[in-house]
Structure 1
């Protein structure tokens, strides 16, 4: 199952508008914060923007040592019933979508696989250690 994303979709436009309005409000609050706290607020905002919303994630199976089949559901952006994730090295810092743990660049992670079109959750990562111990559902 793949979510359809279209820039002309009214729901996507509404979400985009709400997101931009919330970022404007966040920027106003951010500007009022002393400089010493700016870095901490950016890290927090990056964690939220990277897809760590209330996504429902289940590992369905691990067919090979380098792949996992995952069901991913996020009420605000997408639902994938049987998405293939592949092992890789994190190209940037982030947060594990499965556990919420911090991911550092170079950590071994699973990422959504894509060949032509990137899925809506393409920027998401899960720590490989978390995927390997996750119960198979």
Structure 2
């Protein structure tokens, strides 16, 4: 490398080091799933009767290769991401476990009834 490139590199390294302790770490919040895209969703495992392990792949909200979903009552009406069937508020559903920041697919639901139907087939 030429002397000019080495100086530029050293300035870059110094700038990074200067930010080390005083820099505030921020999290990039993923775009929330709005129900318009068509993600590829696969149920990988059912570790317990109250949890699923799901693979979610969507160009808008990202890829979650091994995501834990928990059973709960649907707070709002929606659509099952596996079957496309309607979900009513109060229906038992599986949804992604919340974190901080919440995952981009936090609003997605899988109807518990659709899993029972699939296991009988």
> Which structure 1 residue ranges, 5 or more long, are not aligned?
13-48
In structure 1, what is the Cα distance between the partners aligned to 2:69 and 2:61?
A: 18
Q: Which has the larger radius of gyration?
A: 2
User: What's the TM-score, normalizing by structure 1?
Assistant: 0.60
Alignment of 1:85-100 (within 5 A): 85-100=69-84
- Number of residue pairs matched by the alignment: 92
| Corresponding position: 1:114 with 2:101 | no
In structure 2, what is the Cα distance between the partners aligned to 1:98 and 1:119?
A: 18
| Corresponding position: 1:50 with 2:50 | no
> Which structure 2 residue ranges, 5 or more long, are not aligned?
1-26
- Alignment RMSD: 2.2
**Offset at 1:116?**
2.5
Between Structure 1 and Structure 2, the one with more helix by share is 1
Give the match's secondary structure for 1:57: strand
